[in-house]
Amino acid sequence: PLTEKDHQDILFAIEQELDFIALSFTRSADDVLRAQEMIAAGNGHAQLIAKIENQEGLDNFDSILEVSDGIMVARGDLGVEVPIIELPVIQRNLVRKCAQAGKPVIVATHLLESMIHNPIPTRAEVTDVSNAVYEQSDAIMLSGETATGKYPVRCVEYMDKIAKRIELEPGLSFFEGRPIEYSRENLARSACRLADSLNSPAIIVITRRGLLARQVASFRPQTAIIYAFTNMSSVRRKLWLIRSVVPFMLEFSRDPEKTIRNAFERLTKRNRLLNGDKVVVVSDVNTGDGSSVSSIQVREYRESPEARASGVQDEGLDASPD
């Protein structure tokens, strides 16, 4: 059960306008629901990540997953609770279930443990990190390596290099066979299939609250980066967690075509597209009468020399507030 200190910590997170709250030692769906009630009561917008790190959390995982915004596989404490030889199987099963549910999953702790004291990782650690990337986890997270370790920056650099190399290989595609419940999920899956068939380098998603971008990402496009455009800064920040998504802020026009043109202009300035690229554009736009209009388009990118000349150097990720 949640304690008074948990309540105070959640209130502090709301006051600081944090985007995520990680709930340690989640034992049941009730733990998650109580924390979400506290967040709602404080008018917070934080999403709740359930940390799975004990046997009770494993036993109740399906119900926890159903009500959580995301999952963290916290292998440090979990490895104490379960036989250590079972841990790789448990990790893979949890990641697979998250993929099937379309929920983000973080693999955390003891990834590069030796680098707390040593400047290079062991071969076993490189393989461990690689497995999490092969499983197509949304994020891999360091803890003690950067909190107390001697080489925090090098740890991040190694994680980045390993992830970028392994992402060039086919992943395990745990999402395949996932049941489709809503029309928006069909839209998202179709966008990914279309991008894969065209070998498209980009999927542009126009999304206010981020749901459509998360659903597109959950179907794991093979080559395309998902450029998510939203007009809400809190949504943009949350989308950084999601695999394959690079979020941008963009003021939306009443004219959907103008919004799409502005999105292309932003990507042009960031040198994200090449002349002749086939780009999938997906949107689910609310209309004035309360209904929505869904669309998927394929556009062949054509740039003007002036547009490229005015572009800025892309440093890999658009982390600026615009």
Q: What is the dihedral of CA 302, 308, 312, 315, to 10 degrees?
A: 60
Distance CA 146, CA 163 (A): 17
Band (pLDDT 50/70/90 cuts) for residue 289 is: low
% of the chain at pLDDT higher than 90: 79
Q: What is the mean pLDDT of residues 210-219?
A: 95
% of the chain at pLDDT higher than 70: 92
- Using one digit for the tens of pLDDT, what is the confidence trace for 52-109? 999 999 999 999 999 999 999 999 999 999 999 999 999 999 999 999 999 999 999 9
- Using one digit for the tens of pLDDT, what is the confidence trace for 199-212? 999 999 999 999 99
Contact between residue 47 and residue 69 where contact means Cβ atoms under 8 Å apart:
yes
3-state secondary structure of 275: coil
What phi, psi does 6 have (nearest 5°)?
Answer: -60, -45
Average pLDDT, the chain: 91
- Using one digit for the tens of pLDDT, what is the confidence trace for 104-135? 999 999 999 999 999 999 999 999 999 999 99
- Using one digit for the tens of pLDDT, what is the confidence trace for 140-179? 999 999 999 999 999 999 999 999 999 999 989 888 878 7
Structural domains of the chain sorted by starting position, each given as residue range(s) with its CATH number in brackets: 4-166 (3.20.20.60), 183-309 (3.40.1380.20)
Q: What is the mean pLDDT of residues 32-47?
A: 94
Distance CA 241, CA 226 (A): 13
Buried b (16+ CB within 10 A) or exposed e, 11-29: eebbeeeebbbbbeebbbb
State residue 86's pLDDT score.
Answer: 96
* Residue pointed to by tokens 């999938």: 280
Band (pLDDT 50/70/90 cuts) for residue 294 is: confident
State residue 254's pLDDT score.
Answer: 85
The answer to whether residue 6 scores a pLDDT higher than 70 is: yes
Band (pLDDT 50/70/90 cuts) for residue 286 is: low
Q: What is the mean pLDDT of residues 174-186?
A: 84
